[in-house]
Structure 1
Amino acid sequence: MSDLANTGVQLALIILIGLLVPCLWRMLRAPNAAERLQAIDLLTTLLIGIIVVLALVEGIAFIVDIGIALAAFSFIGTLAVARYLSDGRLF
C-alpha cells in the first residue's frame, strides 16, 4: 500500500480503538438493560470494523469471515436479549 493508504488505515484503527473507550464506559454505566444491549451492539460493530481493517492491513481474506461470523452471532444475541427483555422468555 502507498504511504497515504497506510496513514489512512492507521488513522482508522486509532479512531475505532478510541471509540471503544466511551462504548465500554456506556456499557458499564448504563442505567438499564436495554441501554447496555445497545452499547454491546455498538461494541461488536466497532470490533467488526477493527477486524476488517486488520484484514486489509494483513492481506488475509479469512479474517473477514471471522468478522462476518461475529456479526451474525451479535445479531442473533441481540434478538434473543431483546425478546427476553420484552417478553421475559427466549423461545
Structure 2
Amino acid sequence: MIEIALFFAASCYGVALLLDLWRIAVGPDPADRILALDTMVINMIALLVLYGIWRGSAIYFEAAMLIAMVGFVSTVAYCRFILRGDIIE
C-alpha cells in the first residue's frame, strides 16, 4: 500500500515540476520565473525524500538537505542579480 502512495505522490510532484518548467519558460516577468525556480527546488526536495523513503536509505535525506541549501542561495543570488544587476558588490 505504501508503494502506491509513494508512486502517486511522486507522480504529482513530477507533474508539478513540469508545470514549474512551463512557468519558467513562459513567465511574463522575472519575479514569476524566480518563484517557479524556487518551487522547482522544493519539488525536487520532496521527490528526493519520497525516493529515500521508497529505498529505505538515509543518504537521500542528506542530499535533500544539500539541495535545500543550494536552492536557497541560488534564489537569493538570482533575486539580487535581477534587482541590482550584479551579485557581488
TM-score of the aligned structures, taking structure 2 as reference length: 0.90
1:89 aligned onto 2:86: yes
Corresponding residue SS for 1:11 = helix
1:9 maps to: 6
Structure 2 CA distance, aligned partners of 1:32 and 1:18? 22
Structure 1 CA distance, aligned partners of 2:74 and 2:18? 22
1:31 maps to: 28
Cα drift, residue 32 of structure 1: 2.0
Q: In structure 2, what residue type is equivalent to 1:79?
A: V
2:15 maps to: 18
Identity level (%): 23
> Which residue among 46, 51, 60 is the counterpart of 2:48?
51
2:76 maps to: 79
Corresponding residue SS for 2:48 = helix
Cα drift, residue 59 of structure 1: 0.6
Q: RMSD of the TM alignment (CA)?
A: 1.1
Number of positions where the alignment pairs a residue of Structure 1 with one of Structure 2 = 88
List alignment gaps of at least 5 residues for structure 1. Answer: none
1:42 maps to: 39
